[in-house]
Amino acid sequence: MRIFLQKTLGWGRQLGQRTNLGLAAGLLYALATPHMVKAAENTLELELNRAAQTDSGCMLTFVAANKTGQALNGVAYEFVLFDADGLVDLMTAFDFGAMPEQKTVVRQFELAGAQCPAISQILVNGAARCDLAKPAEAADDTCVSSLATKSRTDIAFIK
């Protein structure tokens, strides 16, 4: 094709380099896309969706999507909250309860006495509980290895 374009349109070496680069990029995308989709399907997505100050503390709202292919009878995570200086302020566990396969749930947790703007980061320290509906069909660490975190707030949410 490159020779045809060079002869027909009079384009030189630069076109050939661009064409080869474009073909290589397209091939890489075509090969990687199924793997990226597969990886996204085997996740337990946990999103910090909102942090709202209330009269009694800080209300954290999470959106959780179970795309692991495994029903979870109960999930709880240990969280570490850091202050604005990066110092550990609080360690706690949030129980997300049952998470059916291919289901999205919303959970809210209120941190009594906490100020939302004072929280700079939340770290998922590990799974405090991970009850799989069919343990024989899943890895022992499904709740941790499949976890993908993100935040829509000013608070960083990491694992």
CA 32/CA 25 separation, integer angstroms? 11
Sign (positive or negative) of CA dihedral 64, 153, 145, 27: positive
Q: For each of the chain's 159 residues, which pLDDT tens digit applies? A: 455 444 544 544 554 555 454 444 444 454 444 444 444 578 999 999 999 999 999 999 999 999 999 999 999 999 999 999 999 999 999 999 999 999 999 999 999 999 999 999 999 999 999 999 888 766 668 899 999 999 999 999 999
What would the two tokens of residue 117 be? 């703007």
